[in-house]
Amino acid sequence: NGHQPTSGPQFGATGLQPQDQPTDQTLTTRQGHPLTHNQNVRTVGSRGPTTLENYPFLEKISHFDRERIPERVVHARGAGAHGVFEAYGTVGDEPVANYTRAKLFQEKGKQTPVFVRFSTVIHGGHSPETLRDPRGFAVKFYTEDGNWDLVGNNLKVFFIRDAMKFPDLVHAFKPDPVTNRQDGHRIFDFISNTPEAMHMITFLFSPWGIPANYRQMQGSGVNTYKWVNEAGEAVLVKYHWEPLQGIRNLTQPEAEKIQAKNFNHATQDLYDAIEAGNFPEWELMVQIMSDDEHAELDFDPLDDTKLWPQDQFPWLPVGKMTLNKNPENYFHEVEQVAFGTGVLVDGLDFSDDKMLQGRTFSYSDTQRYRVGTNYLQLPINAPKKHVATNQRDGQMAYRVDTAPGQNPHVNYEPSSMNGLKEAPKTYPDHKPYIAGNLMRQPIERTNNFKQAGERYRSFEDWERDDLINNLVDALSGAQQDVQNRMIELFTQCDEDYGRRVREGLQQMSSSTNGQVNVQAGHEAAEQAEKQSHEA
Ligand code: HEM
C-alpha cells in the first residue's frame, strides 16, 4: 500500500522542495490520493458550513463508522497467539496410527503451525478478565490436509447435554434484558431447573471458575469425537490440554484485588510472557474408549456433563504445543479468527454427541454473519496449503480459489474442460451403522449428581470454602423457591454440600432480617469463610 509517485509535482515554478515529495510514509486515502489536509474539514470560509463533496473526510469517517464487526455472541473477550504443535508419533505406548490416520499426529517431531484464542464467555469485548466464567481454549491447526479446529474450554465438562438448550443457557447467564445486569436470580432460576448442570456449577463456583491467567489453565475439547485409522475403524476420543506451567486458580477475593487495578490481566500476561521469550506450553492428551454405548458405565460416553474417569480411561500424551509469537494485529488475527467444531481433517470424525452436532452448525453459521461470507479467505482462517474450490463471489471476495492451469471458465464439477477434479479416495470411509426411530429424547443415563458430589469431595478445603462462599453470594439475590431448589440439588450431590449452602444462606438472611441482597451476601460469605477457617 506504499504510494509510488509516478509524475510528481514540478519544482521551480511551484516552489516545491524535494522534502515535499510524497514518500512511502505519506498519508493517503484508500484510493491512493496523497492526503494534504488531515486536520481540517473543508468549509465555506473559515467558519462556514462544511461541504459534502469532501471525499477524504467522507472516506475517513465512513470507514471509522464501520470499524467494528458484530462481536461473538459468546466468548467475545479474548486473547490469541501463534505457535507450533509437535507430535510424539505415539499414544501412550502404541503407535498413534493404530487409532488415527490423521497426518499431523503420525511422526515423532512432526510440526504443525497453530493459532490459539483464549476467551471468557458471557460478557462483552472489553469486560474484565477476572470474571467467574468458563475460559475458551480454541486451537486452529494448519495441517497439510487442511485446517483442524479443536474448540474447547478450560473446564472439562459443560452445563447441558443437548444443543437445543444452549440459547436458553446463554440467555440466563447474560445480562437481564431489562436491567442489563447479570443476575444471580435469573441464573439460578434456570440452573435449579437444569439438574445436569450441577457438575459444571460445582467447578464454576470453585476457584476453577477463575483461572489465574490463560497460561496456567488446562483445556479440554469437552465433547466426544472419534479417531479413525487406515482400516476405517473408529474409537471415541476426548482431548485435554495440560499446561506445563502448572495450574493456578484464584479465589474470589484474589480476583477482586486484581480486577480493582487491571481488567486486562490475562491478555497482558500472555502477551508479555511471549514477548519475553517465556513461551507457554501444553501437552495434548487423549482418552480413548471403544466406539459403543458402554452399558457397563453409569453415564453415557456421549454426555458432556461427565468426565471419563482417569483410572479407567487414562490420559495419553500425543504431542506438545508451544505458543511463541504474538499477533501482529489484534483485529485481523484475534477478532476475525473463526473456529468451528466442524473443521476436522481426515482421520478425525464426529461422534453422535448431540452437543457436538449442534455446535457444528452454529459456528460457521455465526461466522458467515459475524465476519462475512468469504471469512475463509482471510489469512488467519485460510489453510496454509493449496485451496481449490468452485465457490465464487459474495461480499468481499477478492480471490478465486483456483488451481494453477485451471480453466477460468469452469467453476463447476464434473467437467471435461480442465476443471477441478474430486480428490482420490485413499482410505476406506468410517461407516457406522445407524438405525432407529426418529425422536426427541433426553440421554437416558442422566446420573446428574454423582460426579458433582465426587468433585465437591475432591476439592481441597480452601477450594470448598471458596465454592460455598461464592454460591451463597450468588444465590443471595435469588428468591426463596429458587434457593430451596438449589439447596435440594446440592444435597443430592453431597449432604455436606447442601448443608453448607443452606447454612450460609440462613446466616445471611438472619443478619439482614430476612432481606437478602448481594452486599449482604458478600458479608455473610466472608463471615462463613472466617468460621470455616476457624473450624
Ligand atoms: C464460541 C455456539 C458449546 C467453546 C461460540 C460461538 C458460538 C458458539 C455461536 C461464537 C463463534 C464465533 O463468533 O466465531 C455454541 C453452541 C454450543 C456451544 C451452539 C452448544 C450447543 C460450547 C462448548 C464449548 C464451547 C461445549 C467448549 C468445549 C467455545 C469457544 C468459543 C465458542 C472456545 C470461542 C472460539 C473463539 O475463540 O473464537 N460458541 N457453543 N462452546 N465456543 Fe461455543
Return the percentage of the chain with pLDDT > 70, whole number: 92
- 338: Cβ below 6 Å to ligand 1? yes
pLDDT at 18: 66
In the residue annotation, 262 being an active-site residue is answered as no
Beta bridge partners of 219: 241
Q: Which of 121, 151, 366 to mutate to test the pocket of ligand 1 (most atoms within 8 A of CB)?
A: 151
pLDDT at 502: 98
Measured distance CA(297)–CA(406) in Å, rounded: 54
Ligand 1 centroid–CA 457 distance in Å is 30
Beta bridge partners of 325: 82
pLDDT digits (tens, 9 = 90+) for 406-448: 999 999 999 999 999 999 998 999 999 999 999 999 999 999 9
pLDDT at 513: 56
- 467: Cβ below 6 Å to ligand 1? no
pLDDT at 15: 65
Annotated binding site: 363
Q: Which of 71, 74, 224, 331 to mutate to test the pocket of ligand 1 (most atoms within 8 A of CB)?
A: 74
Secondary structure (3-state) at 186: helix
- 152: Cβ below 6 Å to ligand 1? yes
pLDDT at 522: 46
Q: Which of 72, 155, 376 to mutate to test the pocket of ligand 1 (most atoms within 8 A of CB)?
A: 72
Question: Catalytic residue among 123, 147, 153, 213, which?
Answer: 153
Measured distance CA(264)–CA(262) in Å, rounded: 6
* Mean pLDDT, residues 261-289: 98
Nearest residue CA, atom 43 of ligand 1? 359
pLDDT digits (tens, 9 = 90+) for 221-230: 999 999 999 9
Measured distance CA(381)–CA(335) in Å, rounded: 11
Mean pLDDT is lowest, of 91-105, 357-371, 386-400, for 386-400
pLDDT of 290 over the 70 cut: yes
In the residue annotation, 153 being an active-site residue is answered as yes
- 138: Cβ below 6 Å to ligand 1? yes
Annotated binding site for heme: 363
**Closest ligand 1 atom to 361 CA:** 19
Residue 54 CB contacts under 8 Å (≥ 6 apart), including other chains: 41, 42
- 73: Cβ below 6 Å to ligand 1? yes
ipTM score assigned to the predicted complex:
0.97
pLDDT at 499: 98
pLDDT digits (tens, 9 = 90+) for 242-267: 999 999 999 999 999 999 999 999 99
Mean pLDDT is lowest, of 201-205, 362-366, 400-404, for 400-404
**Which residue is it, cell 458402554?**
294
Backbone angles phi, psi at 472, to 5 degrees: -60, -45
pLDDT at 5: 43
- HSE (side-chain half, CA atoms, 13 Å) at 297: 20
pLDDT of 7 over the 60 cut: no
Nearest residue CA, atom 12 of ligand 1? 72
CB 465 within 8 A of CB 527: no
Ligand 1 centroid–CA 345 distance in Å is 19
* Mean pLDDT, residues 476-495: 97
* Mean pLDDT, residues 276-291: 98
pLDDT at 534: 45
pLDDT at 13: 56
* Mean pLDDT, residues 485-498: 98
Residue 270's alpha-carbon distances to 129, 206, 329, in angstroms, are 12, 23, 15
CA 489 to chain centre: 29
pLDDT of 516 over the 70 cut: no
pLDDT at 10: 47
Q: Which grid coordinates are listed for 382?
A: 485460510
pLDDT at 331: 98
Beta bridge partners of 284: 241, 319
pLDDT of 518 over the 70 cut: no
- 161: Cβ below 6 Å to ligand 1? no
Nearest residue CA, atom 15 of ligand 1? 359
H/E stretch holding 362:
helix 354-370
Ligand 1 centroid–CA 379 distance in Å is 21
Ligand 1 centroid–CA 18 distance in Å is 56
On average, the pLDDT of the chain sits at: 93
Measured distance CA(201)–CA(249) in Å, rounded: 16
pLDDT digits (tens, 9 = 90+) for 12-70: 556 667 677 888 899 999 999 999 999 999 999 999 899 989 999 999 999 999 999 99
Measured distance CA(471)–CA(201) in Å, rounded: 9
